[in-house]
Amino acid sequence: MKPSSSRSEALLRPLSGTPDVDAELDDRALLQALLDAEAALARAAADTGLLPVPVAEEIARHCRAERYDPAALGAAADAAGNPVVPLVRELTAAVDASARPWVHHGATSQDILDTALSLVAVRAGAVLLRQLDAAADAAADLARVHRDTLMVARTLGQQAAPTTFGLKAAGWLLGLDEARTRLARARAALPAQLGGAVGTLAGYGPAGPDLVDRFAAQLGLAASPLPWHTRRQPVLDLAAALGGLLAATGKIAIDVGLLAQTEIGEVTEGGEGRGGSSAMPHKRNPVDSVLVTAAARRGPGLVGTLFTAAVQEHERATGGWHAEWEPLGDLLHLAGGAAARTARMLAGLRVHPERMRANLDATGGLLLAEAVATRLAPALGRAAAHDLVRRAAARPPLRDALLAEPDVRAHLSEADLDAALDPAGWLGSAGHLVDRALDLHRDGSR
């Protein structure tokens, strides 16, 4: 299940993935998953009485990846269009003669490869969930520590109104927890595939439906009520969950990258020795932010490929199924790298509250224009109050311009105006929202 980008495996692949997830995606892992499916098929058939137990164990005994050469199988796969055909040939040759008629009994190549890809995704997904947990815990720590740390909120690229860094981190946290929930649900629903040549289970006689359930149970996968050869919803659910994970981590990464800009300077990525430039000795680049953002930008195309490939004809596809294999591997690979780097980025993030406050004060109180207009609205009406404050905002500093307005002095004392211009007084329910996100994370995210 090597991603298609693996041509530069030694130089570029480590920049988009992470070793613990990639270990579940490499050729050896996929080969073992294919063999696990063959062993489970033999044992399930023995459980239903279709073949002798010693025969099933003989087949399972030879289902070990180290016995086979992935490169040779890959080269031989070109003749049949998938690697299962040459693998079955080699497995059949390896077992005792009495077991050879029963290798791959009643199955088709898609049954084994779909099941193997489900296994690979489940195994890689277990690592991904742990990485998401670490990232979410780091976001929760930031939200807790900085619950009341004032900063400026930005909308449409401009300074807008006061908020807290705790609320920003709480938004990151909820995004990660939601991504984890979706991934866990999609992973738990990944089914084994078994239908035979056209999805009728004809090779198993009346025992077919029972064998399907036993086959899935052997592998710890969900049992599908019908073969899903051209009904690709399990793949789509997984693709959507992985795309959502990349979107959630990408949102955090792009926020961190923007906040770390020299002119903003509100956060800095940690990590000694990271972020250097080949040309500029002074630079400290937000490397994790950059790499996670890159992964997030690649995700939608891969998700789109899988959704496009899902429209498949009749009982077995001519190309649509084949188009899924590498994009699915790419998505798992990118999700692993993004989740791991997000966890590292958030755990080491250095927050600069003094810089946040300086940026908040940079416009001389203009960010509190809404707060002043809201206080004047009961007396002047909303539209008139808005226009008055807008006119004053054009003559900074705002406080002096407002005090020069008779309608302001008539309805607000200097103390009232100063209270309206205090950013800590215009945070709405920010603290409560942070607490809510932390409660959800603690009580329900896992």
Render the burial of 309-340: b for 16+ CB within 10 Å, e for the rest.
bbebeeebbeebbebbbbbbbbbbbbbbbbbb
Active-site residue 316, yes or no?
Answer: yes
Please state whether 71 falls in left (phi above 0), alpha (psi between -120 and 50) or beta. Answer: alpha
Place of tokens 């490169």: 71
Which of 8, 98, 277, 413 is catalytic? The answer is 277
Could you give the CA distance from residue 370 to residue 390 in angstroms, rounded to a whole number?
A: 9
Q: Tell me which residue of 256, 233, 110, 96 sits closest to 171, measured CA to CA.
A: 256
Tokens standing for residue 11: 């130089």
Helix, strand, coil fractions of the chain, as percent rounded to 5: 65, 5, 30
Could you give the CA distance from residue 139 to residue 180 in angstroms, rounded to a whole number?
A: 14
Which of 232, 298, 316, 375 is catalytic? The answer is 316
Active-site residue 277, yes or no?
Answer: yes
Could you give the CA distance from residue 228 to residue 240 in angstroms, rounded to a whole number?
A: 18
Over its C-alpha atoms, the chain yields an Rg (Å, rounded) of 29
Supply the residues annotated as catalytic. 277, 316
